Amino acid sequence: MATLPSDNTVAEADPTPPQRKKDRTHWLYIMVIIAVFAGAAIGLIAPEAGKALEPLGKAFIALIKMIIAPIIFCTIVLGVGSVAKAATVGKVGGIALIYFLIMATFALVIGLVVGNLIHPGEGLKLEPYEAAAGGESNGTVDFLMSLIPGDIAVLPTLVLALLVGFALQSMGKAGEPVLKGIGHIQAVVFKLMMMIMWAAPVGAFGAIAAVVGKTGWAAIGAMATLMGAFYLTCALFIVIVLGSILKVVTGLNIFLLLKYLAREFLLIFSTSSSESALPRLIAKMEHAGVSKPVVGITVPTGYSFNLDGTAIYLTMASLFVSSAMGMPMSLGEQISLLVFMIIASKGAAGVSGAGLATLAAGLQSHRPELLDGMGVIVGIDKFMSECRALTNFTGNAVATLLIGKWTHEIDIDQARAALNGSSPFDEQSLEPDVHGSAAATTGDEAGEKERATVNA
What is the pLDDT confidence band of residue 258, given thresholds at 50, 70 and 90?
very high
pLDDT tens digits for 125-170? Answer: 676 655 444 445 566 767 777 777 766 676 788 788 888 888 888 8
| pTM across the whole model | 0.72
Of the listed ranges 350-354, 365-369, 399-403, the least confidently predicted one is 350-354
pLDDT at 4 over 70: no
pLDDT of residue 29: 73
More confident residue, 439 or 33: 33
Q: What CATH number is associated with residue 392?
A: 1.10.3860
pLDDT in tens, 98-111: 898 889 888 888 98
pLDDT band at 414 (very low <50, low <70, confident <90, very high): very high
The number of helices, as runs of H, and strands, as runs of E, in the chain is: 23, 0
pLDDT in tens, 204-220: 888 888 888 888 888 88
Q: Percent of the chain at pLDDT above 90?
A: 16
DSSP 8-state symbol, 426: -
**Mean pLDDT along residues 239-260:** 94
421 phi/psi in degrees, rounded to 5: 90, -5
Number of domains in the chain: 1
Between the CA atoms of 317, 323, 328 and 331, what dihedral angle is there, to the nearest 10 degrees?
A: 40
Sequence-separated (6 or more) residues with CB below 8 Å from residue 401: 246, 250, 252, 257, 285, 288, 290, 410, 415
Exposed/middle/buried for residue 8 (C-beta within 10 Å: 0-12, 13-18, 19+): exposed
Residue 453 pLDDT > 60: no
> pLDDT digit string (tens) for 39-67?
889 989 998 888 888 888 888 878 887 88
Residue 75: give the domain boundaries: 3-455
Q: Looking at per-residue confidence, does 447 or 241 come out higher? A: 241
Region 394-404: what's the mean pLDDT?
A: 94
Give SS3 for 122.
coil
Q: d(Cα 196, Cα 340) in Å, to the nearest integer?
A: 24
Tell whether the model's pLDDT for residue 2 goes beyond 50: no
**Predicted confidence band of residue 190 (pLDDT cuts 50, 70, 90):** confident
- pLDDT for the residue numbered 42: 92
% of the chain at pLDDT higher than 70: 76
Q: Which whole number is the average pLDDT over 406-427?
A: 89
